Amino acid sequence: MTDLELARAERERLGLALAIARDGEVIATGNRGGVADLLEMLRRTDLELAGASLSDRVVGRAAAMLARCAGIVAVQGGIMSEPAIQALRDAGIPYSAERQVPHILNRAGDGMCPMERLCLEQTDPHACREAIEAFVACQASRARP
């Protein structure tokens, strides 16, 4: 079983949002959805994602660009957007998707996901990560009383 197959099997078996495997082991899982788990994993100094494979329930361009930052070598998605596919293709990262869609929708389903929109024109994965970090920080500060 490949690392990508292992990550997908674990994600599906446990009903997770994402799972990451490297060297025949699942090294990280998450269940929050969006890019929150992947972003947190990138921030962790004790977790080496380079060379790992990612299976994510929903892969938009933001997740694809974060995967590029992390050095992920293969990506599988339940749903994957066309902009995510382009980001992975541009980096030569193999990908597969159960379903491809033009764009990832927001949680209300009435427009484009704000993270997808934020990263749509970004070509540098590290600049994209900085934009995501700034967006998340802004949202967190708005949520505080």
Q: What is the mean pLDDT of residues 94-121?
A: 95
Q: Which of 6, 2, 22 is nearest to 14 (CA)?
A: 6
Entry field: residues in the chain: 145
Return the pLDDT at 144: 66
Report strand pairing: 18-22 vs 25-30: antiparallel
Q: Can you give the pTM of this predicted structure?
A: 0.94
Residue with tokens 């674990």: 10
Q: Domain count of the chain?
A: 1
Residue 68 belongs to domain spanning: 3-143
Mean pLDDT, all residues of the chain = 95
Q: Residue 39 in 3-state DSSP?
A: helix
CATH of residue 55's domain is: 3.40.140.30
Q: From the CB of residue 20, how many other CB atoms can be counted at a distance below 10 Å?
A: 29
pLDDT at 139: 83
> Do 4 and 74 meet the contact criterion of CB atoms below 8 Å apart?
yes
In tens, the pLDDT along 52-102 reads 999 999 999 999 999 999 999 999 999 999 999 999 999 999 999 999 999
User: How far from 55 is each of 108, 112, 117, 144, 145, CA to CA, in Å?
Assistant: 24, 22, 22, 32, 35
